[in-house]
Chains A and B, each alone.
Chain A
Amino acid sequence: MIELSYFAAAVLFILGLKRMSSPKTARGGIVWAGAGMVVATFATFFMPDMGNYGLMILAILIGGGAAWYTGKKVAMTDMPQMIAIYNGMGGGAAAAIAAVELLKGHFDNSTFQVLAVAGALIGSVAFSGSMIAFAKLQGLMKKSFHFPSQQAINLVVFGLAIAFGLYVMFAEAPGGFALFMFFALALAFGVLMTLPIGGADMPVVISLYNALTGLAVAFEGFVLGNAAMIIAGTVVGSAGTLLTQLMAKAMNRPLTNVLFSGFGAVEAESSAGPEGEMKEIGAADAAVMMAFANKVIIVPGYGLAVAQAQHKIWELSEMLEEQGVDVKFAIHPVAGRMPGHMNVLLAEAGVPYDKIYDLEEINAEFPQADVALVIGANDVVNPVARNDKSSPIYGMPILNADQAQNVIVVKRGRGRGFSGIENGLFFLDNTRMLYGDGQEVAAKLIAEVKQL
Chain B
Amino acid sequence: MIEGFTALYIFMLAAFTGYEVIARVPVILHTPLMSGSNFVHGIVLVGAMVAMGHADTDLERFIGFIGVMLAAGNAVGGYVVTERMLEMFKSSKEDRK
Contact = CB atoms under 8 A, between A and B. Distances in A.
Contact of B29 (A20, A53, A232, A236): A20
B61 A55 contact: yes
Nearest to A99: B63
Interface of B: 1-2, 4, 7, 10-11, 14-19, 21-57, 59-61, 63-94, 96
Contacts of A52: 52-53, 55, 61, 64
B40 A16 contact: yes
Interface stretch (A156-164, A223-231, A398-406, A409-417): A223-231
A2 B42 CA distance: 18
B27 A232 contact: no
A328 to B, nearest CB: 12
A218 B17 CA distance: 14
B70 A21 contact: no
Given A37-B42, A63-B73, A51 B53 contact: yes
A207 B32 CA distance: 12
A21 B18 CA distance: 12
A37 B71 CA distance: 12
A129 interface: no
A199 interface: no
Nearest to A341: B31
A235 interface: yes
Given A21-B21, A70-B77, A59 B96 contact: no
Contact of A20 (B11, B32, B90): B32
Contact of A71 (B42, B80, B92, B93): B80
Nearest to B77: A67
A93 B55 contact: no
Interface of A: 6, 9, 13-14, 16-18, 20-24, 26-27, 29-31, 33-34, 37, 40-41, 44-45, 47, 49-53, 55-56, 58-68, 70-72, 74, 76, 79-80, 82-83, 85-87, 89-90, 92-97, 99-101, 103-104, 108, 111, 206-207, 210, 213-214, 217-218, 220-222, 224-240, 242-243, 246-247, 250, 331, 333, 338-341, 343-344, 347-348, 350, 352-356, 358
B70 A87 contact: no
Nearest to B68: A59
Contacts of B65: 55-56, 58-59
A427 B37 CA distance: 43
Nearest to B90: A352
Contacts of B35: 79, 83
Contact of A66 (B17, B42, B73, B96): B73
Given A93-B70, A239-B22, A344-B32, 9 more contacts: A37-B42, A41-B46, A55-B52, A93-B47, A96-B63, A104-B60, A235-B21, A242-B22, A340-B32
Per DSSP, chain B at the interface is helix
Contacts of A222: 2, 7
14 contacts: A23-B26, A27-B89, A56-B53, A63-B70, A64-B72, A86-B38, A89-B73, A90-B78, A214-B41, A238-B18, A333-B27, A343-B29, A348-B88, A353-B89
A234 B96 CA distance: 38
Contact of A104 (B54, B76, B80): B54
Contacts of A80: 31
A86 B14 contact: no
A82 B30 contact: no
Contacts of A40: 43, 46
Given A23-B26, A352-B92, A50 B38 contact: no
Contacts of B36: 16-17, 20, 29-30, 33
Contact of B38 (A31, A51, A90): A90
| Residue picked from B15, B23, B39, most chain A C-beta under 10 Å | B39
A358 B88 contact: no
Contact of B18 (A228, A229, A239): A239
B64 A100 contact: yes
Contacts of B76: 63-65, 67-68, 71
Contacts of A18: 21
A358 B27 contact: yes
Contacts of B54: 49-51, 100, 104
Nearest to A183: B63
A37 B43 contact: yes
Contacts of A354: 91-93
B43 A93 contact: no
B48 to A, nearest CB: 5
A44 B50 contact: yes
Given A41-B45, A71-B77, A339 B27 contact: yes
Contacts of A86: 38, 42, 73-74, 77-78, 81
A67 B80 contact: yes
